């Protein structure tokens, strides 16, 4: 006799499967064994979070026999769905881990994808790699500042500490500092790699504007003119429009003339 599941039973099965996937990270931490049937269901579930957790379990040998090859397989399955934790983990693995042959180029590719999704630890790690030129990555202080600023903007303590140390080591203002501050502000303005945040955009544009960055001055004027991230203030907006216009910024020149439709 065949047994047919009722609608309620099917619903409960889906709920239990969902709960098991959600609890996978805790199974990893507690080193509990998962039954074979749950493993099979998780492996066939197209959940990047479940695939990521299963990959960690194989890499660490928790709940299963350690298997680096299978661990990488499931991490990559998860990363293929742009799951930021899998992207970050693979980046670290290809930097320096016995789970895979070291490949800095591949590592940076994974870390960059995670960083672009707004994951602060990836932004911080990229920043330090560009700052020091480690792992075969060409030193690039501008890129380092970009990623460290993004991480710091999300409250990453180590990124803030490094930026503070860099600031104290060299108190002079360099053009690259202004550009890095502008780039960070623009990322917050457009929501590139981070959640859109007009207040953060205004803060970073202000730093770049004070250093004489014309595009930052114009954008800061726009924020004050529209009251985005700052209190609306036409007088302050005109101040920054004029500062940018004096450097030949065309749009700022029209704004400084009170051209509302330019």
On whether residue 5 sits in a domain, the answer given is: no
Same domain? For 95 and 105 the reply is yes
On whether residue 9 sits in a domain, the answer given is: no
On whether residue 124 sits in a domain, the answer given is: yes
Q: In whole numbers, what is the pLDDT of the chain averaged over residues?
A: 80
CA-based angle 82:78:56, to the nearest 5?
130
d(CA 137, CA 185): 25
pLDDT score of 14: 54
Same domain? For 183 and 256 the reply is yes
Q: What is the DSSP string of 167-180?
A: HHH--S--HHHHHH
d(CA 74, CA 51): 5
Same domain? For 89 and 58 the reply is no
**DSSP 8-state class, residue 136:** G
- In this prediction the pTM is 0.56
Question: Average pLDDT of 246-261?
Answer: 78
Same domain? For 73 and 44 the reply is yes
Cα 9 vs. chain centroid, distance in angstroms?
40
Say if residue 89's pLDDT is above 80.
yes
On whether residue 6 sits in a domain, the answer given is: no
125-174 pLDDT, tens digit each: 999 999 888 777 788 888 888 888 888 877 888 888 887 777 665 544 45
Q: In which domain, by residue range, is 56 found?
A: 22-81
pLDDT score of 48: 87
Say if residue 99's pLDDT is above 50.
yes
Note whether 91 and 110 are within 8 A (CB). Answer: yes
Q: How many domains does the chain have?
A: 3
Which burial class, exposed, middle or buried, applies to 81 when counting CB atoms under 10 A from its CB (0-12, 13-18, 19+)?
A: middle
pLDDT score of 235: 93
Question: Average pLDDT of 84-91?
Answer: 95
């Amino acid at each position: 006799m065949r047994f047919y599941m009722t609608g309620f039973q099917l619903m409960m099965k889906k709920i239990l499967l969902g709960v098991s996937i959600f609890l996978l990270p805790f199974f990893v931490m507690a080193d509990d064994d998962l039954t074979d049937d749950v493993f099979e269901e998780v492996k066939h579930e197209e959940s990047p979070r479940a695939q990521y957790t299963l990959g960690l379990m194989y890499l660490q040998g928790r709940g299963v026999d350690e298997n680096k090859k299978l661990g990488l397989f499931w991490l990559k399955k998860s990363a293929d769905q742009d799951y930021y934790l899998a992207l970050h983990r693979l980046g670290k693995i290809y930097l320096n881990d016995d789970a895979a042959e070291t490949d800095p180029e591949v590592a940076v590719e994974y870390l960059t994808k995670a960083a672009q999704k707004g994951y602060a630890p990836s932004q911080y790690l990229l920043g330090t790699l560009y700052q020091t030129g480690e792992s075969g990555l060409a030193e690039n202080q501008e890129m380092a500042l970009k990623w460290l600023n993004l991480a710091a903007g999300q409250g990453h303590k180590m990124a803030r500490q490094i930026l503070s140390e860099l600031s104290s080591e060299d108190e002079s203002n360099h053009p690259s500092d202004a550009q890095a501050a502008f780039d960070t502000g623009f990322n917050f303005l457009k929501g590139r790699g981070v959640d859109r945040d007009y207040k953060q955009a205004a803060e970073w544009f202000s730093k770049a504007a004070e250093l004489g960055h014309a595009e930052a001055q114009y954008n800061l004027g726009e924020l004050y003119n529209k009251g985005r991230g700052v209190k609306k203030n036409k007088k302050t907006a005109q101040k920054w429009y004029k500062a940018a216009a004096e450097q030949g910024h065309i749009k700022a020149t029209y704004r400084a003339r009170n051209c509302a439709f330019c």
